[in-house]
Amino acid sequence: MRRMLTELLTLPLARPFAIARGTRTAVAVIRVTLEQDGFIGHGECTPTPRYNESVESVHAQLNAMKEAIEAGLSRQALQTELRAGAARNALDCALWRLDAARAKQTLWQQAALSAPPSVVTAETLSLDSAEKMADAAADAVSRGALLLKIKLDREAIVEKVAAIRAVAPDATLIVDANEAWSGLDLPPLFAALRPYRIAMIEQPLPAGADAVLQHIAHPVPLCADESCHTRSDIAALRDRYEMINIKLDKCGGLTEALAMVDEAEKQGMRLMVGCMLGSSLAMEAALLVTPQAEHVDLDGPIWLAADSSPFLSYSQGRIWL
C-alpha cells in the first residue's frame, strides 16, 4: 500500500529575480512524498501563474489524484489521468524516484542512461539596468560561469547585451525575452544582436502570436519556451523556431520530457533544458534530459537563500554529478 503526502513551501530567494513579467523575492513550491514498502520517492513542482496555476489549484489537483496514486497508479497511467503541468510533474518525478528506490537504482539507471561527470548550466542574469547586469555578468564570470542567460524586456536590449559582452568576452550568451518583444521591429533587432555572438534568443513573442516568426530571417537561432509544452506542440513550431525548451513543470514530468527529446529529434529541432525557480530536488530529475541538450539552464537552486536535498554541487559554471 502506498502513502502520499504533500507539503506546501515558500522558499525565500537570496536576491530578487526579475524578468519581463515581474520580480520575485520568494518561490512557492509543492513537494510530494510517496512511500511504499519502506521505499521513498520525492517530487517537487513550482506552480506558474503564467500557465494559470496557483499553489491552491495545483494542490487541489494533487489531492484529487491521491486515491488513485495510493491504489498503485503507474507513472504510465498517470500521463492520461492528469494533464501536463506542475501537479503531474511532482507526481511523475516522485514515481520515478520510488520505482528507482524499489529497484535499488539511481534515476539514471532507471532511465537506462549514463550520467556525465558534469553538466554546463547557464547562470541567469536578472533583468536590471545595463550597468547592474554587466556587474552581475562580471561577477558570474569571475566565479567560472561559462554560459550566461540574459533576461530582457523591451528596454535597452542591445545596450544591455553589449555591456554584458564587454565584461564576458568568452562566455556563451543566450537571451530570454519572455514574450516581451511584441510590436518591435524584429529583423533589425535580430541583426543588431548578431555581432555580439548570441547563441540563441528564447521566446521573443507571446505564445499564440508567434506565427510571424516564420516570415522573419533568423540570423540568431530562436527557441520556443512558452509556445512549447509537450511533444504534441513540436511539429507545428518547426517553421518559426530552431529549438525548444523542455521544462518538467510545463510538460508534466520526466516521462513526457524524455518523450519530447525523441520527438524533437524526429522533427529536427535542437534542445534546451530549462527550469522554474526551485530546489535541487526539482533540478536533479531534469538532469536526465540534458545529454541531448545544446543548452542547459538549471540554475534554480543558486537563487535560493537555502537549498534542499539532494544538494546538487554548483561551481565553475557546472553542475557536478
Q: Which residues are catalytic?
A: 151, 247
Alpha helix (H) ranges present in the chain? 55-70, 75-81, 86-102, 107-110, 130-142, 157-167, 186-193, 248-251, 254-267, 280-286
Burial class (CB in 10 A: 0-12, 13-18, 19+), 106: middle
C-alpha cell at 152: 530582457
Instruction: Write out the DSSP string of 68-89.
Output: HHHTT--HHHHHHHS-SSHHHH
Phi and psi for 220 in degrees, rounded to 5?
Answer: -115, 130
Listed residue (237, 255, 245, 240) closest to 276, CA to CA: 245
* All residues at 6 or more sequence positions from 205 whose CB lies less than 8 Å from its CB, including other chains: 179, 181, 182, 212, 213
Determine the Cα–Cα distance for residues 7 and 24; give it in Å rounded to an integer: 21
Determine the Cα–Cα distance for residues 280 and 110; give it in Å rounded to an integer: 19
Query: Is 107 in a helix, a strand, or coil?
Result: helix
**223 torsion bin: left (phi>0), alpha (psi -120 to 50), beta (else):** beta
The kind and range of the H/E element at 108 are helix 107-110
318 beta partners: 120, 315
Cα distance between the two ends of the chain: 33
Determine the Cα–Cα distance for residues 8 and 244; give it in Å rounded to an integer: 30
C-alpha cell at 13: 530567494
Number of H helices, E strands in the chain: 10, 14
Identity at 205, one-letter amino acid code = L
